[in-house]
Chains A and B, each alone.
Chain A
Amino acid sequence: MVLSGAEIVIRCLQEEKVEYVFGYPGGAVLFLYDALFQQDQVRHVLVRHEQAAVHAADGFARSTEKVGVALVTSGPGATNAVTGIATAFCDSIPMVIISGQVPTAAIGQDAFQEVDTVGITRPCVKHNFLVKDVRDIALTMKKAFYLARTGRPGPVLVDIPKDVTMQRCEFEYPKEISMRSYNPVVKGHSGQIKKAVQLLLEAKRPMIYTGGGVVLANAAEQITRLTRLLGYPITNTLMGLGGYPFGDRQYLGMPGMHGTFEANMAMHYSDVLLAVGARFDDRVIGNPAHFAEEPRKIIHIDIDPSSISKRVKVDVPIVGDVREVLEEMIRQLEAGEVRPNPDALAAWWKQVEEWRSRRCMAYKNSDEIIKPQFVIQKLWEVTGGEAIVTSDVGQHQMWAAQYYGFDKPRRWLNSGGLGTMGVGLPYAMGAKLANPDMQVACVTGEASIQMNIQELSTCRQFRLPIKICNLNNRYLGMVRQWQELFHGGRYSESYMDSLPDFAKLAESYGHVGIRVDRPADVEGALREAFTTYKNELVFLDFQIDATENVYPMVQGGKGLTEMILSAEDL
């Protein structure tokens, strides 16, 4: 069948079973939009800013296991998309971004709305392509989806000049794809796995540390089985929350800068550490030299060899897909006779429980002023712990991560690696479209929400009944916290003056707005939002204690054991 380049692109999306494309039109993509118009299989969500298009597609991908798709025009459309692309890249999210480009003859001529999109995005994509010939579109699209979802996932950008979308050629979508230069390892080396199992069984102070890789590999079930089989303590990074059920006794909470005392101490003093799809980020292990002071053997499972021995030296590297490797570990464990040493394990758990008894997550509630932790706990209660929760970046993000107990993967969507303010609302849009029957809450701050507040309009157009929980502290709270602790209380430019009345603002977009000032009203307002206004977007503007800080805290550059547990430690 002979089709235009634009029609071919849309046919490729259909072949990939893409349900939603998030995008924004412009000159260079007019033919693509024309082709979209003439079919109804792939639905288009018109956002109000290209950054939000990419974030929404990213949120769609995070909440499912599908590849998110965004479509933007050349020049400013592409540059607006860059923050979204970089955000997805840093958290290894599978996405395909299609950008329009000026006609091939105009490339390099400083044409209207021309930027070197492939050049600008090169450092923040898994791969990118400039398609110069209509006959290359189908294969390139096939490669783009294949690259995005296999190996270590990531965003792939396809830049298509306008004339290429006009030209015509025969269309056939390739069934299979293989690339001699790209062959991610899936199955782990069985000898290495054997060594790892042996080491785990010999451990006296074992610890399991899992990350986003468990979520990305859909391996929550496997990690849970392995952890229960061994009886060892486990921690999930910010990106790995929900990988292991929060409520379980073996779960120690999140590690790292704002992790729990018990998780950090157990990480630090373990003699065998099993790292699974986690990359020893500086926000997790603190100062690597301090971390290396305590001798321990490290087993590291990761699909990306470059994640292994990057920041800490690893003793047993296992390159492969988390799920495959864990299955094999479980098989070997179950087949073997050896079981963990019960005495050593009992002594280790005694130590861990002692750390846990510090109750580092306790906070002083108040009848006068709303505490952010309390709002999150109530949100958990009201949603039965079953909501998809997105967040922006700041203190509210940490409180959401700490106090909403995630029992399942793909329920917690946030920007961990890039830490992009403004993702919360578009993530919620993508998640709600992907999971129309689930409750979706966006925990945000009065600063972050304003970075993509225009999307309230998109939410109205597409009837997305998201519940926005704005933890309004009138401050760039996370910045203020650092200024309070490390810059002598000089609050340089961290006060948010001239805030809008968010409830009224939401109303003007056609949504429901509720302002909440008193602790006693928190639960009622949440219930109203999730029941009375079930089918509406509700903007809950919680006026919270502006002085509240996130604890525990490991200061940047410090070691994991050098935690500030509360304001009393200062």
Chain B
Amino acid sequence: MRHVISLLIENESGALSRVSGLFSARGYNIESLTVAPTEDLSMSRMTIVTTGSDDIIEQITKQLNKLVEVVKVVDISEAAHIERELMLVKVRATGKDREEIKRTADIFRAHIIDVTDASYVVELTGNQGKLDAFIGAIDPALILETVRSGVCGVGRGDRVLKV
């Protein structure tokens, strides 16, 4: 099962390697991991997308909690939550492809944020499925690069991860 784990961690150097080291040392999967400081600069928020049986996910959250610098851990995928990922796709855009890509971008509510006479950079946010769908909708031969940020997540409504 796929799970989205959010955590708050002290913003110390090496904190990220403690988390990533834990996953590799114990053989847990990481699908994606994103991290950046929060509004309180002494803390970072991390979103980890992982897969595993219930037992493994239980161990993952326990092991994360055990890290001395980890302040709080929640599995936000246990209840209603929102996931978003940012993607930048550079595509070859010449001739009639230019119009076609523009149209597809509009349908996905993506933005074209860089234009040259031969290429576009398309910016798109959404859940993983939407980004995958966009990639699927574009002729693979036109894709020059794709950059994805990995998933950020937050619980819906009253569920707040805060110290």
Q: Name A residues whose Cβ lies closer than 8 Å to a Cβ of B.
A: 118-119, 122-123, 126-127, 130, 147, 179-182, 304-306, 309-310
Q: How many A-B residue pairs have CB under 8 A?
A: 37
In the assembled complex, 7 residue pairs joining A and B whose CB atoms fall closer than 8 Å, in A order, are A119-B14, A119-B17, A122-B18, A179-B68, A181-B68, A306-B59, A309-B55
Contacts of A310 in B (CB 8 A): 59
What is the CB-to-nearest-CB distance from B100 to chain A, in angstroms, rounded to a whole number? 49
Classify the secondary structure of A's interface with B.
mixed
* Interface residues of B, dominant DSSP: helix
B37 to chain A, nearest CB (A): 15
Asked, given contacts A309-B55, A309-B58, whether A122 binds B21 with beta carbons under 8 Å apart, the answer is yes
Closest Cβ of chain B to A181, distance in Å, is 4
CA distance A119 to B21 in the complex (A): 10
- The 8 Å CB contact of A122, one of B10, B17, B55, B62, is B17
Once the chains bind, are A180 and B68 in contact (CB under 8 Å)? no
CA of A126 to CA of B67 in the docked complex: distance in angstroms?
8
- Which of B14, B25, B71 is in CB contact (< 8 Å) with A118? B14
- How far does the Cβ of A366 sit from chain B's closest Cβ, in whole Å? 47
Are A181 and B17 also in contact (CB < 8 A) when A309-B55, A309-B58 are? no
A409 → chain B closest CB, angstroms? 25
Which residues of A sit under 8 angstroms from B71, Cβ to Cβ? 180-181
Q: How far is the CB of B8 from chain A (nearest CB, A)?
A: 8
Residues on B facing A (Cβ under 8 Å): 9-10, 13-14, 17-18, 21, 25, 55, 58-59, 62-63, 65-66, 68-71, 163
In the bound complex, CA of A309 to CA of B70 (Å) = 21
Question: How distant is the Cα of A310 from the Cα of B9 in the complex, in angstroms?
Answer: 24
Q: How far is A182 from B71 in the complex, measured between Cα atoms in Å?
A: 7
Pair B63/A181 contact, Cβ less than 8 Å: no
Q: Which residues of A contact B9 (CB under 8 A)?
A: 181
CB contacts (< 8 Å) of B21 on chain A: these are 122-123
Contacts of A305 in B (CB 8 A): 62, 65-66
**Chain A residue at minimal CB-CB distance from B62:** A306
B17 contacts which chain A residues (CB < 8 A)?
119, 122
Cα–Cα, bound, A127→B70 (Å): 12
The answer to whether A147 and B68 have CB atoms under 8 Å apart is yes
Q: By the criterion CB–CB under 8 Å, are A304 and B25 in contact?
A: no
Q: Give bound CA distance, A147 to B13, whole Å.
A: 19
- Kindly list chain A residues whose C-beta atoms are within 8 Å of the C-beta of B13: 130
Residue of B nearest to A119 (CB): B17
Q: List the 8 shortest-distance A-B pairs measured between CB atoms, nearest first.
A: A306-B62, A127-B68, A181-B71, A305-B62, A182-B68, A123-B25, A306-B63, A306-B66
- Known contacts A118-B14, A122-B18, A127-B68; is-contact A180 B55 (Cβ 8 Å): no
A122-B17, A127-B69, A180-B71 given. 20 additional CB < 8 A pairs?
A119-B14, A122-B14, A123-B25, A130-B13, A179-B68, A180-B163, A181-B9, A181-B68, A181-B69, A181-B70, A181-B71, A304-B66, A305-B66, A306-B59, A306-B62, A306-B63, A306-B65, A306-B66, A309-B55, A309-B58
Q: In the complex, A181→B18 CA distance in Å? A: 14
> CB-CB < 8 A to A123: which residues of B?
21, 25
Question: What's the minimum C-beta distance from A464 to chain B, rounded to whole angstroms?
Answer: 35
CB distance from B136 to the nearest CB of A (A): 40
CA distance A108 to B18 in the complex (A): 19
Give, as a whole number of angstroms, the nearest-CB distance from B7 to chain A: 10
Closest to A118 in B: B14
